[in-house]
Amino acid sequence: MTQGTHSFSVERGLNAWREEIDAPVAAFFSSCVHCGLCAQACPFFVETGDPKYTPIHKLEPMRLLWEQEFTLWGKLKKTVKDRVDTQLGRAPKPLITDEMLEEWEPLLYDSCSMCGRCSMVCPVGNDIHYMIRKAREGMVASGHSPEGLVAASVRAVNTGSPMGLQWKTLDVQIKHVETATGLEVPIDKQGADYLVLLSSMEIINFPEYLEAITKIFDHAGVSWTLSKTCFEATNAGIQIGSKDIAATLVQRVVDAAEQLQVKNVISPECGHAYTAIRWEGPNAIKRAYPFKVYHIIEVLDQLRADGRIKTEGKEMDRLSMHDPCNLARKSGVVQQQRSLMDLVASNFVDLKEHGEFQWCCGAGGGVSSNERAEPLKLAAFKRKKAQIEEVEPERMVTMCATCRTQLEEGLEEFNMDIPVVGLTEIIADHLVEKEVENKKAEES
């Protein structure tokens, strides 16, 4: 009975892979020559030295399936093998077993943040992170995904937040922001230009963010709103690798945006939420959006370019920046955060490898929701730490709540006294106050 259930779930996993294997995947698997260069691009390999963390190796079960079922040579080999088995009267050995998938689960989840750096260096051009994302679909379908991520997905579907956060918690924060700033936080405002989404991690760890955008949007005269029915931007379905869960969660955002008839949706300082809504969302629900999606940094930079953000004073200490993988390498937002830094920092220094070649903090792609991955997450952080040590900043700036938490925890672990701040907050700190601005206008 147990055996039956198992083979059924493996079969479901294989079916998911059969659905995921497309022309790029076939081209990638056809081209790998086992050169091992992808290992050098992976913080999980570089910091552990264990060859099993070589990115392409993480895809071996899916490659086996592709070879056997999607190539003529593989089909021929299978036919011969089956013939021999029948002749000898023995049961054919399954290609992919539960044990194998169990062995690969930590490789596909714990030791991969889907940062995509390997995809940038592969000499034959394999987009490995594209395949990891697909491989996870089969892992979910076969019942081999980490408990932490399963729990986060269940909470996200049931409560709307992967951390089980409810509107009333956010409401308390909204009241607090309104008291502190004397400004209104718009809720469910029909026809606003921007629907602002948040991440639970942000609401819990970095309430400064909501206050910062409230100030900036008031300053720039931006029409915006929160939605009571959907405030969560993150998508656990995309991290764990379940198109169904992903579609359910994306649909909530789309419903809220359509109901409020907003023109744009803003993804918060969170990397994967942006990938989820901006790039994967429309494909999860199989239709284009009637609105545009921006990361908050893109919106702020546009306001800057339009002259709608007026700042005064600059940060004098030595600042450096961590580019979230999902924002920079995986979404092409590289210059925007630097233009914003120029506005408010006089002593900014980039990490040596940044932008599309930045190193992952080690916590993305679901690694931070997977308690089992804790030691690996800290190991991978050592690469970031080495990068930070190279330029010796006094503070780090970033624009993703997961990266920020990882940087804070990692730096603390290694006794490095380098505070981490969100870029949006720094901008908010330097806004020219309205009264001053009005006075200046009167004088001139």
Partner 1 sequence: MTPMDFLLLTKGPLFSLAIAIFALGILIRLFEIFALGRAHNYAAARGNEVIPGLKTMYRRFNPDPGTLWHVGFVIALLLFIPHIELIKSTLGVSWPGLPNPVVDAVTAITLLGLVAVLIHRLTHPVKRFLSTPQDYLIWTVTFLPVLTGYLAYHRLINPYPLALGLHIFTVEIFLIVLPFTKLTHIFTAFVARYYNGAIFGRKGIQS
Minimum distance from CB of 198 to partner 1 (Å)?
A: 22
Look at the alpha carbons of 207, 210, 213, 215 in this order and tell me if their dihedral is positive or negative.
Answer: negative
Minimum distance from CB of 27 to partner 1 (Å)?
A: 4
By C-beta, is 80 or 316 nearer to partner 1?
Answer: 80
User: With contact defined as beta carbons under 8 Å apart, do 215 and 428 qualify?
Assistant: yes
Q: Using CB under 8 A, pick the residue from 87, 286, 442, 444 that binds partner 1.
A: 286
By C-beta, is 78 or 310 nearer to partner 1?
Answer: 78
User: With contact defined as beta carbons under 8 Å apart, do 223 and 192 qualify?
Assistant: yes
Q: How far apart are CA 412 and CA 390, in angstroms?
A: 17
Task: Tell whether residue 127 is a contact of partner 1 (CB under 8 A).
Answer: yes
Using CB under 8 A as the binding rule, the residues of this chain from 151 to 180 that contact partner 1 are none
The residues, any chain, with a CB within 8 Å of residue 433's CB and separated by 6 or more, are none
Q: Which stretch binds partner 1 (CB under 8 A): 31-39, 150-158, 260-268, 429-437?
A: 31-39
Task: Tell whether residue 292 is a contact of partner 1 (CB under 8 A).
Answer: yes
Q: Which stretch binds partner 1 (CB under 8 A): 9-17, 280-288, 402-410, 428-436?
A: 280-288
By C-beta, is 293 or 380 nearer to partner 1?
Answer: 293
x/- mask, partner 1, residues 296-335, rule CB under 8 A, reads: --------------------------------xxxxxxx-
Task: Tell whether residue 30 is a contact of partner 1 (CB under 8 A).
Answer: yes
Task: Tell whether residue 28 is a contact of partner 1 (CB under 8 A).
Answer: yes
| Residues lying near partner 1 in the complex (CB under 8 A) | 21-28, 30-37, 39, 45, 49, 51-52, 54, 56-57, 70-73, 119-120, 122-127, 130, 278-283, 285-289, 292-293, 328-334, 356
